[in-house]
Amino acid sequence: MLDYDARIFRSVANSDGGDVNGRTTFHYHQRDDVVWATYAGGSVVFGTLLAKVDAFGNLDMRYQHVSIDGNFKSGCCQSRPESLPDGRLRLHERWQWTDGAEGQGSSIVEEVSGQCFWAMTHNLRNVDGDRRYHHFLGSAGEATNSTGAGCDCGLRGRRDGGRVVPGFLSGVVELANRALQRTALARRR
């Protein structure tokens, strides 16, 4: 069985009608045959997915998120993994909306390796007005911004065995919660 734990994926292709785009990043976790992830960026403020993985690494998943227009959306997806020559994974997905939107389509997400450390906050800048954070792993494995300097946003992590260790998730959850609170406040006005 494939191990999805602590892998980070970014969308590289999607059908029309899908909310996920090239600015959407997924953070996967796994325990036994249960896989879950959080995702955000692009048209998605914050989302979660829950899946069962089979012996071949295929995922049968359900997803839900809040879009930037404030709508709740959910659906189901079948995902088939492909191993790339450099060792990363590419997921070929067939998805269908079940609530909040109509339609179906296909998408591709690829594992991020050593470039983008945490791109989820791209969308949070638009929601809560904070500056945009770009995280990269420097040569020592520390989080840096796009200029190579250390980042002061509080999100930290390290590389271990080719994957990012998610010691930074509490800061990310805090940023996501702030963004959701500001979205709710803006709607009340």
pLDDT of residue 184: 66
d(CA 45, CA 71): 10
Residue type, 178: R
How confident is the model over 40-65, as pLDDT tens digits? 999 999 999 999 999 999 999 999 99
Ranges of CATH 2.40.128 domains, the chain: 8-111
How confident is the model over 128-145, as pLDDT tens digits? 343 333 343 333 334 443
CA angle (31, 22, 20) in 5-degree steps:
65
On the question of pLDDT at 19 being above 90, the answer is yes
**Total H helices, total E strands in the chain:** 2, 12
The residues near 19 (Cβ < 8 Å, ≥ 6 apart) are 42, 43, 44, 65, 67, 73, 101
pLDDT of residue 172: 53
Contact call for residues 110 and 9 (beta carbons, < 8 A): yes
Q: 8-111 domain in CATH 2.40.50?
A: no
Write the DSSP assignment of 49-90 as a string of letters.
EEEEE-TT--EEEEEEEEETTS-EEEEEEEEEEEE-TTS-EE
pTM of structure = 0.64
How confident is the model over 21-45, as pLDDT tens digits? 999 999 999 999 999 999 999 999 9
Looking at every residue in the chain, the average pLDDT score rounds to: 75
